[in-house]
Amino acid sequence: MNKSALVYDDLMQKIDAEVYQLGTYLPSENQLCDLYGISRETGRKALATLAENGYIQKIRGKGSLVIEHRQYEFPVSGIVSYKELAQKLHIATENVVYGYDPEATLPIAAFASLGVDLTEEPVTAIKRVRVIDDEPDIIDKDYILKSVIPDVPRKAAEDSLYAYFEDELGLEIGYATKEITMEPANAEDRAELNLDPGAYMAVVRSVTSLTDARAFQFTESRHRADKFRFRDFARRQRKPM
């Protein structure tokens, strides 16, 4: 990491830990130079990256204001494991695996609308219920292509798939294509999440690829509509005059 990246990372962590709280100002550029022993240019780069990523808003004559930056309540925006998200947001959760089939076939109909070429390839199919504050809220169905990852131990599904993919297998996860729809709860939703007839689900379908562009994970994440919240951060990019 270069110096500006190190300063950015430290400031980001302090914002997440509420050392610098929402609605307050970060130290000035001069103060950052003294705090971190850096040049003003390095400090400006760190602040610019914080602004680009939605952590601060630069206010002329006042400084860098800490703004609301969390991009998701649940893993919808970005690529993040559920375990990582729960730890970051301090959510009390339980991960219940209720389906595990190492010899399944990819259900191509479920992902046809994502605009990728699909074939009925062998997959490891994993079904999990995410229990939040002792209440089942989300069903995650993951289909891992065996052509890319031949074996996914059940233990990895019970803990963190991404920790297994990245830390144990050394894979580099690159990007994902996602869509969100609203659908009536089906019989499986109602049984696993204790829902009444007529309930609706916010359904997030995604295809995740490695940095070499190989798709390897197909996910259908089914959220209770009454508990689902999607929040994003967008900054307008003005065209140069």
The whole-number pLDDT of residue 148 equals 97
Across the chain, what does the average pLDDT equal? 86
Q: Tens of pLDDT along 114-166?
A: 877 788 999 999 999 998 878 898 999 999 999 999 999 999 999 889 999 99
123 vs 151, 159, 164, CA distance in Å? 9, 19, 16
In this structure, the chain runs to a length of 241
DSSP string, 35-69: HHT--HHHHHHHHHHHHHTTSEEEETTTEEEE---
The whole-number pLDDT of residue 72 equals 37
Q: Tens of pLDDT along 86-114?
A: 566 566 678 899 999 999 999 999 998 88
The whole-number pLDDT of residue 73 equals 44
Report the distance separating Cα 228 and Cα 226, nearest Å: 6
Residues with Cβ < 8 Å from 92, sequence gap 6 or more? 132, 133, 134
Taking alpha carbons only, the member of 4, 3, 1, 18 closest to residue 49 is 4
What would you report as the CA-atom Rg of the chain, rounded to the nearest whole angstrom? 21
Structure-model confidence comparison of residues 3 and 75, the more confident one: 3
pLDDT band at residue 82, thresholds of 50, 70 and 90? low
State how beta strands 135-145 and 173-184 pair: unpaired
Q: Is the pLDDT of residue 229 over 80?
A: no
Structure-model confidence comparison of residues 72 and 134, the more confident one: 134
Mean pLDDT of 210-236: 83
Checking 82-85 for CB contacts under 8 A at 24+ apart, the result is: 82/130, 82/140, 82/160, 83/159, 83/160, 83/162, 83/163, 84/160, 84/162
Torsion over CA: 222, 150, 93, 196 (sign): positive
The whole-number pLDDT of residue 27 equals 95
The whole-number pLDDT of residue 135 equals 87
Q: Is the pLDDT of residue 241 over 90?
A: no
